[in-house]
Chains A and B, each alone.
Chain A
């Protein structure tokens, strides 16, 4: 998958060099034209090729949420009105000095929006006149300096790949949260080893154990295949459309059919992930077997096969051996998926030793970007906490020397988490913890109110009652028979959020928009405060009550 870069520079020099010498990446521009800038007829004199200041950088990041690395100049010869807001580093400096360090103020501002966005600063440490500036960067594990030499495309490419790898592997930044148990270490080793072969792979595990994330974050990345990652949820496709979706169609194949490539062709030179492979209809199983054997697919309605180079990974939570025995799954296809080398992702209850590490990673991830990060930034400002906004989960008691916000989970609460059955596995854990953390911070923000910042404002306990309340609705959701649709999201952080959005949307519809009734379903209580909390979370999830049918106010 080709990473996308955003260049932030007041001039054009870096842009030209990067476009000429680093063509293995795509670049986030401020225009709507497709294709790379270096072939664009509008190129001469175009100013939309990159961002020139913080405002344009933020605009570009909104337009391109898939930016993976920011390449940021340090010196910006801009008028004061266009400079980024002052940071702790530049607060006492002259205008000229601020211009010399403008890149750092831009970095500080971008960090408030995204804790883990990789940023490469286009300068060397010895070129920074201010030692404090270089020192402060060492605290940012996702920022790096371009090195001692002048611009060297090969060195820069290595740096870009290094910050990319660091982010992809970091659980708090969306990387797969393996934990430290020996069985997960073995799973990681096996996944990375098998990923580098061309053989199909099978991933087995209960719902919510992170099979999809394992395939995208670990297997596809470790395969180093240049093509894209394409995922198909076979449980979400109507049976009659599966073959067309996978293998494509030709005009005239059926009424309304057009020439359209299927997912196999879309995943050429990359990875094709078939989730819920047990749901594949028998006739499509035959076509899949042919594709695996011949390395070719034929669009429906055509006779000429097309060669495809695809790493196939399939996942399921059903017993395929039993399905093959019953004739529901072809035995020859099952054999082709290499079941002897299948990866088994254990359920959370079999790796409870990982719970503290997973909990810590999920809480950090919850505040890494988006509306929840904005909540954290607001809390840190109102509480008078200095330094980059950060949050850590502490188990048992807070640390006296930690910086940023500490969310404290009492031992008794941790014990309750360990005793929970976790039918939704890791996905459920992330949902519960991220929600508990956000609610606790929101309550903390409300409590700050008009008060002067207190020294202990950096420590927020997560109430046991809150965690208990959050554990209950998911069990209710299972008992209510709600069906959740799992679709690929750009980041792992998106999965529990997607699940939670669906829950709130369904309840909103069932209760005709009555937040008090929703609170009764979710929390077991319907006080005005509980209704407000539910409405706050509804809004935080990006859902809007306006325009939807609601019940009349009581």
Chain B
């Protein structure tokens, strides 16, 4: 899920974002509702709290992203990349949380 959400975000050019690229970004972020999908896949697992926060923020940015507001686009793209990184690291995060601290 993170891979598809971040696909265009990872490749955004540092200069102007042309309409075709913006359309691709919107498809990646908003064709499938991220927060709803996360909840459906993983329920309320506490380890997913950071990911749910990021997904909720991406959803909130949708109107500005679609309107082409550059700051909103960059923020949503960064969040998508962080979401992907966080989801990939999830097994390790859960394992660390569940391993009792050594004395």
Tell me whether B57 is interfacial, beta carbon within 8 Å: no
Contact between chains at B3 and A150 (CB < 8 Å): yes
For the complex, give the distance between the alpha carbons of A20 and B27 in Å.
15
Q: Which of A13, A16, A150 contacts B10 (CB 8 A)?
A: A150
Contact between chains at A151 and B24 (CB < 8 Å): no
**Contact residues of B between 1 and 26, Cβ < 8 Å to A:** 2-4, 6-8, 10-11, 13, 20-21, 24
Tell me whether A484 is interfacial, beta carbon within 8 Å: no
| Most B CB within 10 A of own CB, among A16, A150, A153 | A150
Which residues of the partner chain B approach A149 to less than 8 Å between Cβ atoms?
A: 10
Given contacts A17-B11, A21-B11, contact A150 B6 (CB under 8 A): yes
Contact between chains at A150 and B84 (CB < 8 Å): yes
Which residues of the partner chain B approach A130 to less than 8 Å between Cβ atoms?
A: none
Contact between chains at A17 and B8 (CB < 8 Å): yes
Which residues of the partner chain A approach B3 to less than 8 Å between Cβ atoms?
A: 150-151
Q: Which of B2, B10, B20, B84 contacts A20 (CB 8 A)?
A: B20
Contact between chains at B21 and A20 (CB < 8 Å): yes
Given contacts A150-B2, A150-B84, contact A17 B7 (CB under 8 A): yes
User: Which residue from chain B places its CB closest to the CB of A20 in the assembled complex?
Assistant: B21
Which residues of the partner chain A approach B21 to less than 8 Å between Cβ atoms?
A: 20
Which residues of the partner chain A approach B7 to less than 8 Å between Cβ atoms?
A: 13, 17, 150-151
Which residues of the partner chain A approach B10 to less than 8 Å between Cβ atoms?
A: 149-152
**Contact residues of A between 38 and 72, Cβ < 8 Å to B:** 38
Nearest CB in chain B: distance from A39 CB, A: 11
Q: Interface size (A, Cβ < 8 Å)?
A: 11
User: Which residue from chain B places its CB closest to the CB of A148 in the assembled complex?
Assistant: B88
Q: C-beta contact mask, A125-167 vs B, less than 8 Å → 1, else 0? A: 0000000000000000000000001111100000000000000
For the complex, give the distance between the alpha carbons of A7 and B84 in Å.
25
| Most A CB within 10 A of own CB, among B4, B11, B13, B84 | B11
Number of A-B contacts (CB under 8 A): 30
For the complex, give the distance between the alpha carbons of A38 and B24 in Å.
13
Interface of B is mostly: helix
**Contact residues of B between 37 and 92, Cβ < 8 Å to A:** 84
Nearest CB in chain A: distance from B29 CB, A: 14
Nearest CB in chain B: distance from A364 CB, A: 38
Contact between chains at B24 and A153 (CB < 8 Å): no
Q: Which of B6, B11, B13, B20 contacts A38 (CB 8 A)?
A: B20
For the complex, give the distance between the alpha carbons of A149 and B11 in Å.
12
Which residues of the partner chain B approach A20 to less than 8 Å between Cβ atoms?
A: 11, 20-21, 24
Which residues of the partner chain B approach A153 to less than 8 Å between Cβ atoms?
A: 11
Which residues of the partner chain B approach A151 to less than 8 Å between Cβ atoms?
A: 3, 7, 10-11
Nearest CB in chain A: distance from B59 CB, A: 20
For the complex, give the distance between the alpha carbons of A80 and B24 in Å.
30
Nearest CB in chain A: distance from B72 CB, A: 20
Which residues of the partner chain B approach A150 to less than 8 Å between Cβ atoms?
A: 2-4, 6-7, 10, 84
For the complex, give the distance between the alpha carbons of A149 and B10 in Å.
10
For the complex, give the distance between the alpha carbons of A151 and B10 in Å.
7
Which residues of the partner chain B approach A38 to less than 8 Å between Cβ atoms?
A: 20
Nearest CB in chain A: distance from B77 CB, A: 13
User: Which residue from chain B places its CB closest to the CB of A123 in the assembled complex?
Assistant: B3
User: Which residue from chain A places its CB closest to the CB of B81 in the assembled complex?
Assistant: A150
User: Which residue from chain A places its CB closest to the CB of B23 in the assembled complex?
Assistant: A16
For the complex, give the distance between the alpha carbons of A416 and B31 in Å.
70
Contact between chains at B24 and A152 (CB < 8 Å): no
For the complex, give the distance between the alpha carbons of A149 and B13 in Å.
18
Nearest CB in chain B: distance from A120 CB, A: 16
Q: C-beta contact mask, A1-33 vs B, less than 8 Å → 1, else 0? A: 000000000000100110011000000000000
Nearest CB in chain B: distance from A236 CB, A: 46
Which residues of the partner chain A approach B24 to less than 8 Å between Cβ atoms?
A: 16-17, 20
Nearest CB in chain A: distance from B20 CB, A: 6
For the complex, give the distance between the alpha carbons of A182 and B3 in Å.
50
Nearest CB in chain B: distance from A12 CB, A: 10
Which residues of the partner chain A approach B8 to less than 8 Å between Cβ atoms?
A: 17
User: Which residue from chain A places its CB closest to the CB of B6 in the assembled complex?
Assistant: A150
User: Which residue from chain A places its CB closest to the CB of B18 in the assembled complex?
Assistant: A20
Which residues of the partner chain B approach A13 to less than 8 Å between Cβ atoms?
A: 4, 7
Nearest CB in chain A: distance from B40 CB, A: 20
Nearest CB in chain A: distance from B31 CB, A: 11
Which residues of the partner chain B approach A21 to less than 8 Å between Cβ atoms?
A: 11, 13
For the complex, give the distance between the alpha carbons of A230 and B3 in Å.
43
For the complex, give the distance between the alpha carbons of A13 and B7 in Å.
9
A-B contact pairs, 22 of them (CB 8 A): A13-B7, A16-B20, A16-B24, A17-B7, A17-B24, A20-B11, A20-B20, A20-B21, A20-B24, A21-B11, A21-B13, A38-B20, A149-B10, A150-B2, A150-B4, A150-B6, A150-B7, A150-B84, A151-B11, A152-B10, A152-B11, A153-B11
For the complex of A and B, list the 8 residue pairs with the smallest distance between their C-beta atoms, beginning with the closest.
Answer: A150-B3, A21-B11, A153-B11, A151-B7, A152-B10, A150-B6, A16-B24, A20-B21
Question: Which residues of A are interface residues toward B (Cβ below 8 A)?
Answer: 13, 16-17, 20-21, 38, 149-153
Given contacts A17-B8, A150-B6, A151-B11, 10 further A-B contacts (CB under 8 A): A13-B7, A20-B11, A20-B24, A21-B11, A21-B13, A38-B20, A150-B4, A150-B7, A152-B10, A153-B11
